[in-house]
Amino acid sequence: MSFRKALPWRTTIVLAGWIATVPLTTGGSHAQEYQGKAPWCANLGYLGTGWECAYYTVEQCMARASGITNSCSVNPWYVPEPAQPRRQRRDRARY
């Protein structure tokens, strides 16, 4: 087999190997990481940690986010826990 005939096969094999390994080596890409499930998030700017959604009041969030590049905002992924159904009180039967 000549070199010119082998070149397309080699290219195909290398390309197939590259296509097979790239999805395994690249990490999942996320738009922005967030941690926690509380209603307030601290966006920590240059620290690179993304959003810390662990604050139940805006005051807690502002205390953590004190700094030039940090800010607080409402957690867009916050889902409040469903309210517990109230039990109805039954009157005792009076005899």
Give the model's pLDDT for residue 29: 47
Nearest residue to 44 via CA among 26, 68, 21: 68
Give the model's pLDDT for residue 58: 94
- pLDDT tens-digit readout, 1-46: 565 666 677 777 766 666 766 555 555 444 556 678 899 999 887 6
CA dist 37 and 66 (Å) reads: 21
Element (H, E) at 40: strand 40-43
- Phi, psi (deg, nearest 5) at residue 55: -120, 130
- pLDDT tens-digit readout, 33-79: 667 889 999 988 765 667 889 999 999 999 988 877 889 999 988 88
Torsional sign, CA 74, 75, 76, 78: negative
User: What is the edge-to-edge ordering of all strands in the sheet holding 71-74?
Assistant: 34-35, 51-55, 40-43, 71-74
CA dist 77 and 54 (Å) reads: 12
Give the model's pLDDT for residue 70: 87
